[in-house]
């Protein structure tokens, strides 16, 4: 993760509105691109270290592979993002299409992707979602892509199918699954991470000797950032950077600045 210029990177979210073909699409591709550019500009001006592009508005989500037209739109928007900002960016294709995210990142200059379920399986509102680490890492090799994989541990909006020890899950994710970083979230979008759980994840990571930074995946605000980021190595932030703290609202540059200033 040496792509970032700081030891505690803050990645700001660009939550895309509904894309063509999704139930909420309003019929205006230009409006989506304009919103992307406004949000990206506000994030960069506010001081984030990177940007994550995500098809957040496409609910209800496909459990794995999205249609080709979705990949085409996200790739086009990723190219726009690349040309609009000077900071690193990554891609997350919901719910769990990391192969499309990886291909888009490789083709457009993205340096990281996020994958909700990289190893094992989780029960979600899309049904049972299974990890595909074996295919993801081989695809990255075939593409010769220098793209980091940020993989969720006990991802939000999901439940485990069977109880396993935290050490085993973490080891499988990094050692056997090849994840470059681990993402720890609260129960849902914008929900604060349980501090005791975060402490346990970092303790298990260190005890196992795993070389993988731990990122926060939700719940970072100006109030929570000092404590959480004294333990975690970085954060992916969305809701707290929006006007009135609403996830679907545009990015508020002043809110971005408040979160950035709170990072220890």
* pLDDT tens sequence for the chain (264 residues): 688 889 999 999 999 999 999 999 999 999 999 999 999 999 999 999 999 999 999 999 999 999 999 999 999 999 999 999 999 999 999 999 999 999 999 999 999 999 999 999 999 999 999 999 999 999 999 999 999 999 999 888 899 999 899 999 999 999 999 999 999 998 777 678 899 999 999 999 999 999 999 999 998 999 999 999 999 999 999 999 999 999 999 999 999 999 999 998
- Strands ordered across the beta sheet of 121-124: 127-130, 121-124, 158-160
pLDDT at 189: 77
State the total domains in the chain. Answer: 1
Dihedral of CA atoms 180, 37, 13, 145 in degrees, nearest 10, equals -10
Whether residue 43 lies inside any domain: the answer is yes
Among 51, 41, 45, CA closest to 12: 51
- Considering the domain boundaries, does residue 197 fall inside one? yes
The per-residue pLDDT for 104 is 98
Query: Strand 234-237 relative to strand 10-15: parallel, antiparallel, unpaired?
Result: parallel
Q: Would you say residue 1 lies in a domain?
A: no
Q: Is residue 193 in some structural domain?
A: yes
Q: How far, in Å, are 43, 70, 170, 214, 254 from residue 51 at the CA level?
A: 8, 20, 25, 17, 17
Q: Is 159 part of any domain?
A: yes
Which CATH number goes with the domain that contains 250? 3.20.20.70
Residues near 35 by beta carbon (within 8 Å), at least 6 away in sequence: 16, 17, 250
Residue 188: per-residue pLDDT: 74
pLDDT computed for residue 192 by the predictor: 85
**122 touches 110 (CB < 8 A):** no
Q: Answer whether residue 5 is part of any domain.
A: no
Instruction: Give the bridge partners for 51, in sequence order.
Output: 12, 89
In a domain, 252, yes or no: yes
Query: Does 4 reside within a domain?
Result: no
Range of the domain at 101: 10-262
């Amino acid at each position: 993760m040496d792509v970032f210029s700081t030891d505690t990177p803050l990645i700001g979210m660009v939550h895309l509105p509904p894309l063509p073909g999704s139930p909420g699409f309003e019929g205006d591709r230009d409006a989506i691109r304009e919103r992307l550019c406004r949000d990206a500009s506000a994030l960069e001006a506010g001081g984030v270290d990177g940007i994550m592009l995500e098809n957040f508005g496409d609910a209800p989500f496909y459990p794995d592979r999205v249609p080709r037209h979705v990949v085409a739109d996200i790739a086009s928007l990723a190219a726009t993002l690349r040309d609009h900002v000077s900071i690193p960016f990554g891609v997350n294709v919901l719910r769990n299409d990391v192969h499309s995210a990886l291909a888009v990142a490789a083709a457009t200059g993205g340096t990281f992707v996020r994958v909700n379920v990289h190893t094992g399986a989780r029960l979600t509102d899309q049904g049972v979602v299974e990890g595909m680490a074996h295919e993801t890492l081989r695809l990255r090799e075939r593409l010769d892509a220098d793209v980091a994989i940020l993989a969720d541990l006990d991802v939000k909006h999901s439940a485990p199918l069977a109880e396993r020890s935290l050490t085993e899950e973490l080891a499988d994710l990094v050692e056997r699954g090849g994840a470059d970083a681990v993402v720890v979230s609260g129960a849902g979008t914008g929900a604060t991470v349980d501090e005791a759980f975060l402490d346990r994840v970092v303790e298990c990571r260190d005890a196992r000797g795993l070389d993988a930074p731990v990122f926060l995946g939700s719940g970072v605000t100006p109030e929570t950032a000092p404590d959480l980021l004294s333990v975690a190595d970085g954060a992916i932030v969305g809701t707290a950077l929006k006007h009135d703290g609403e996830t679907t609202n545009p990015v508020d540059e002043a809110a971005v600045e408040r979160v950035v200033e709170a990072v220890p």
